[in-house]
Amino acid sequence: MAEQEQQSNNMNRPTLSVVVLCYRAGESAISFTNKLENHLNSFEPNFQLVLVGNYLAGSDDKTGDIILELAKKDEKIKPIIKPKEGMMGWDMRMGMEAADGEYICVIDGDGQFPIDSIQKAYQLIKEKDVDLVKTFREARYDGAYRKFISFWYNVLFRILFPGLNSRDINSKPKIIKREAFKKLNLHSNDWFADAEIMLEVRRLKLTFAEFPVIFSQIKDRRSFVKVSAILEFMRNLVTYRFRKNG
Protein backbone atom coordinates (compact mmCIF):
# COMPACT_ATOMS: atom_id res chain seq x y z
CA MET A 1 0.00 0.00 0.00
CA ALA A 2 2.79 2.40 0.92
CA GLU A 3 4.59 1.53 -2.33
CA GLN A 4 1.45 2.28 -4.36
CA GLU A 5 1.04 5.62 -2.56
CA GLN A 6 4.67 6.50 -3.32
CA GLN A 7 4.21 5.64 -7.00
CA SER A 8 1.08 7.80 -7.11
CA ASN A 9 2.95 10.73 -5.52
CA ASN A 10 5.74 10.39 -8.07
CA MET A 11 3.24 10.35 -10.96
CA ASN A 12 1.60 13.53 -9.68
CA ARG A 13 4.89 15.25 -8.93
CA PRO A 14 5.73 18.30 -11.07
CA THR A 15 8.87 17.84 -13.13
CA LEU A 16 10.19 21.31 -12.28
CA SER A 17 9.55 23.49 -9.23
CA VAL A 18 10.70 27.11 -9.40
CA VAL A 19 11.06 28.82 -6.04
CA VAL A 20 10.72 32.60 -6.34
CA LEU A 21 11.96 34.78 -3.47
CA CYS A 22 9.42 37.60 -3.41
CA TYR A 23 10.31 39.51 -0.22
CA ARG A 24 8.68 42.94 -0.44
CA ALA A 25 8.03 42.49 -4.16
CA GLY A 26 4.54 43.97 -3.89
CA GLU A 27 2.64 44.43 -7.16
CA SER A 28 5.74 43.54 -9.19
CA ALA A 29 5.17 39.91 -8.16
CA ILE A 30 2.21 39.84 -10.56
CA SER A 31 4.13 40.79 -13.71
CA PHE A 32 7.13 38.67 -12.73
CA THR A 33 4.91 35.62 -12.19
CA ASN A 34 3.16 36.13 -15.54
CA LYS A 35 6.48 36.37 -17.39
CA LEU A 36 7.84 33.37 -15.55
CA GLU A 37 4.80 31.21 -16.32
CA ASN A 38 4.95 32.12 -20.01
CA HIS A 39 8.63 31.18 -20.03
CA LEU A 40 8.11 27.85 -18.25
CA ASN A 41 5.20 26.87 -20.48
CA SER A 42 7.48 27.22 -23.50
CA PHE A 43 9.73 24.32 -22.44
CA GLU A 44 8.30 22.46 -19.39
CA PRO A 45 4.51 22.68 -18.93
CA ASN A 46 4.65 20.31 -15.94
CA PHE A 47 5.93 22.96 -13.54
CA GLN A 48 5.13 24.33 -10.12
CA LEU A 49 5.77 27.85 -8.84
CA VAL A 50 6.59 28.24 -5.16
CA LEU A 51 6.13 31.93 -4.39
CA VAL A 52 7.75 32.87 -1.08
CA GLY A 53 6.24 36.01 0.39
CA ASN A 54 7.33 35.77 4.03
CA TYR A 55 7.00 39.05 5.91
CA LEU A 56 8.32 40.85 8.95
CA ALA A 57 5.69 40.97 11.70
CA GLY A 58 4.16 44.42 11.96
CA SER A 59 5.34 45.55 8.52
CA ASP A 60 3.12 47.03 5.82
CA ASP A 61 4.29 44.48 3.24
CA LYS A 62 1.31 43.37 1.11
CA THR A 63 3.27 40.85 -0.95
CA GLY A 64 1.73 37.89 0.86
CA ASP A 65 -1.81 39.03 0.08
CA ILE A 66 -0.91 39.49 -3.58
CA ILE A 67 0.63 36.02 -3.79
CA LEU A 68 -2.41 34.44 -2.13
CA GLU A 69 -4.66 36.07 -4.73
CA LEU A 70 -2.46 34.72 -7.53
CA ALA A 71 -2.58 31.23 -5.98
CA LYS A 72 -6.39 31.27 -5.81
CA LYS A 73 -6.53 31.65 -9.59
CA ASP A 74 -3.71 29.26 -10.49
CA GLU A 75 -3.33 25.72 -9.18
CA LYS A 76 0.32 25.65 -10.27
CA ILE A 77 1.21 28.27 -7.66
CA LYS A 78 2.12 27.14 -4.15
CA PRO A 79 2.23 30.13 -1.75
CA ILE A 80 4.56 30.26 1.24
CA ILE A 81 3.46 33.12 3.50
CA LYS A 82 4.80 33.12 7.06
CA PRO A 83 6.06 35.63 9.63
CA LYS A 84 9.80 35.75 9.15
CA GLU A 85 12.08 33.76 11.43
CA GLY A 86 15.12 34.78 9.42
CA MET A 87 16.05 36.66 6.28
CA MET A 88 16.85 35.52 2.74
CA GLY A 89 18.33 32.17 3.75
CA TRP A 90 15.26 31.25 5.78
CA ASP A 91 12.99 32.20 2.89
CA MET A 92 15.08 30.11 0.49
CA ARG A 93 15.03 27.04 2.73
CA MET A 94 11.29 27.32 3.33
CA GLY A 95 10.64 27.54 -0.40
CA MET A 96 12.97 24.77 -1.47
CA GLU A 97 11.74 22.43 1.26
CA ALA A 98 8.15 23.06 0.15
CA ALA A 99 8.93 22.39 -3.53
CA ASP A 100 7.54 19.13 -4.94
CA GLY A 101 9.40 18.91 -8.25
CA GLU A 102 11.95 16.39 -9.46
CA TYR A 103 14.14 19.41 -10.13
CA ILE A 104 14.13 22.38 -7.76
CA CYS A 105 15.17 25.81 -9.03
CA VAL A 106 15.51 28.99 -6.98
CA ILE A 107 15.63 32.54 -8.31
CA ASP A 108 15.18 36.04 -6.90
CA GLY A 109 11.90 37.71 -7.84
CA ASP A 110 13.32 41.16 -8.50
CA GLY A 111 14.22 40.53 -12.14
CA GLN A 112 17.97 41.09 -11.84
CA PHE A 113 18.70 37.58 -13.07
CA PRO A 114 17.30 36.88 -16.56
CA ILE A 115 14.23 34.64 -16.52
CA ASP A 116 15.34 32.77 -19.63
CA SER A 117 18.39 31.50 -17.72
CA ILE A 118 16.02 29.01 -16.04
CA GLN A 119 15.52 27.17 -19.33
CA LYS A 120 19.25 26.95 -19.97
CA ALA A 121 19.91 25.72 -16.41
CA TYR A 122 17.17 23.11 -16.79
CA GLN A 123 18.53 21.90 -20.12
CA LEU A 124 22.08 21.70 -18.77
CA ILE A 125 21.22 19.72 -15.66
CA LYS A 126 19.49 17.12 -17.84
CA GLU A 127 22.04 17.06 -20.65
CA LYS A 128 25.11 16.90 -18.40
CA ASP A 129 23.38 14.77 -15.73
CA VAL A 130 24.97 16.75 -12.89
CA ASP A 131 23.52 17.32 -9.43
CA LEU A 132 23.32 21.11 -9.67
CA VAL A 133 23.54 23.86 -12.27
CA LYS A 134 24.04 27.54 -11.48
CA THR A 135 25.00 30.76 -13.18
CA PHE A 136 27.86 33.17 -12.79
CA ARG A 137 27.53 36.90 -13.44
CA GLU A 138 29.71 37.54 -16.48
CA ALA A 139 28.56 41.15 -16.59
CA ARG A 140 26.70 43.04 -13.90
CA TYR A 141 25.13 46.49 -13.74
CA ASP A 142 24.44 46.86 -10.02
CA GLY A 143 27.24 49.35 -9.39
CA ALA A 144 31.00 49.36 -8.85
CA TYR A 145 30.69 48.93 -5.07
CA ARG A 146 28.67 45.70 -5.34
CA LYS A 147 31.02 44.33 -8.01
CA PHE A 148 34.03 45.13 -5.83
CA ILE A 149 32.53 43.39 -2.79
CA SER A 150 31.42 40.35 -4.80
CA PHE A 151 34.89 39.99 -6.34
CA TRP A 152 36.67 39.92 -2.98
CA TYR A 153 34.00 37.72 -1.42
CA ASN A 154 34.57 35.09 -4.10
CA VAL A 155 38.35 35.42 -3.70
CA LEU A 156 38.04 34.80 0.04
CA PHE A 157 35.76 31.83 -0.60
CA ARG A 158 38.30 30.22 -2.94
CA ILE A 159 41.12 30.76 -0.44
CA LEU A 160 39.20 29.24 2.47
CA PHE A 161 37.57 26.45 0.44
CA PRO A 162 39.86 25.46 -2.45
CA GLY A 163 38.88 22.95 -5.07
CA LEU A 164 35.25 23.90 -5.74
CA ASN A 165 36.04 26.02 -8.82
CA SER A 166 32.86 28.07 -8.81
CA ARG A 167 33.21 31.54 -10.29
CA ASP A 168 30.34 33.24 -8.46
CA ILE A 169 29.04 31.58 -5.30
CA ASN A 170 25.95 33.73 -4.78
CA SER A 171 24.67 33.73 -8.36
CA LYS A 172 21.22 32.42 -9.30
CA PRO A 173 19.25 30.72 -10.62
CA LYS A 174 20.43 27.51 -9.02
CA ILE A 175 18.72 24.27 -10.02
CA ILE A 176 19.28 20.99 -8.21
CA LYS A 177 18.00 17.44 -8.52
CA ARG A 178 15.53 16.55 -5.79
CA GLU A 179 17.59 13.60 -4.54
CA ALA A 180 20.67 15.84 -4.28
CA PHE A 181 18.78 18.57 -2.41
CA LYS A 182 17.61 16.04 0.18
CA LYS A 183 21.26 15.30 1.01
CA LEU A 184 22.10 18.93 1.83
CA ASN A 185 22.41 19.91 5.48
CA LEU A 186 21.27 23.53 5.34
CA HIS A 187 20.86 25.80 8.35
CA SER A 188 21.54 29.35 7.21
CA ASN A 189 18.80 31.89 7.84
CA ASP A 190 20.63 34.85 6.32
CA TRP A 191 22.53 35.97 3.23
CA PHE A 192 24.98 33.07 3.58
CA ALA A 193 22.45 30.61 2.14
CA ASP A 194 23.84 30.51 -1.41
CA ALA A 195 27.36 29.92 -0.12
CA GLU A 196 26.10 27.21 2.24
CA ILE A 197 24.54 25.34 -0.68
CA MET A 198 27.83 25.38 -2.58
CA LEU A 199 29.78 24.36 0.51
CA GLU A 200 27.46 21.39 0.87
CA VAL A 201 28.08 20.58 -2.79
CA ARG A 202 31.79 20.60 -1.98
CA ARG A 203 31.41 18.51 1.19
CA LEU A 204 29.26 15.87 -0.49
CA LYS A 205 31.36 15.90 -3.67
CA LEU A 206 28.27 16.58 -5.78
CA THR A 207 28.70 17.43 -9.46
CA PHE A 208 27.77 20.84 -10.83
CA ALA A 209 28.04 23.06 -13.88
CA GLU A 210 27.69 26.80 -14.37
CA PHE A 211 27.16 29.23 -17.23
CA PRO A 212 27.30 33.03 -17.67
CA VAL A 213 24.45 35.53 -17.34
CA ILE A 214 24.08 39.29 -17.34
CA PHE A 215 22.96 40.73 -14.00
CA SER A 216 20.69 43.77 -14.32
CA GLN A 217 20.31 46.83 -12.14
CA ILE A 218 17.32 47.17 -9.81
CA LYS A 219 15.41 50.18 -11.11
CA ASP A 220 12.56 50.67 -8.67
CA ARG A 221 14.11 49.94 -5.27
CA ARG A 222 17.39 49.91 -3.41
CA SER A 223 19.23 46.65 -2.82
CA PHE A 224 18.51 44.75 0.39
CA VAL A 225 22.21 43.82 0.66
CA LYS A 226 23.66 46.27 3.18
CA VAL A 227 27.12 46.66 4.70
CA SER A 228 25.99 44.54 7.65
CA ALA A 229 25.08 41.72 5.25
CA ILE A 230 28.53 41.89 3.66
CA LEU A 231 30.20 41.62 7.05
CA GLU A 232 27.85 38.73 7.79
CA PHE A 233 29.03 36.97 4.61
CA MET A 234 32.65 37.25 5.68
CA ARG A 235 32.03 36.16 9.27
CA ASN A 236 30.02 33.15 8.16
CA LEU A 237 32.71 32.05 5.72
CA VAL A 238 35.39 32.09 8.39
CA THR A 239 33.12 30.45 10.98
CA TYR A 240 32.10 27.69 8.58
CA ARG A 241 35.72 27.08 7.59
CA PHE A 242 36.88 26.37 11.13
CA ARG A 243 33.67 24.67 12.29
CA LYS A 244 33.76 22.18 9.42
CA ASN A 245 37.56 21.91 9.43
CA GLY A 246 37.61 22.75 5.73
Task: Kindly give the interhelix angle for 63-73 and 28-41, rounded to the nearest 10 degrees.
Answer: 40
- Residue 174 has a pLDDT of 98
Cβ–Cβ < 8 Å for 101, 176: no
Question: How many whole angstroms separate alpha carbon 134 and alpha carbon 126?
Answer: 13
**Mean pLDDT for the chain?**
88
Mean pLDDT of 74-102: 96
Mean pLDDT of 44-59: 96
Least confident among 6-20, 50-64, 166-180, 186-200: 6-20
Q: Which domains, and CATH codes, for the chain?
A: 13-243 (3.90.550.10)
Least confident among 23-27, 91-95, 237-241: 237-241
pTM for the full predicted model: 0.88
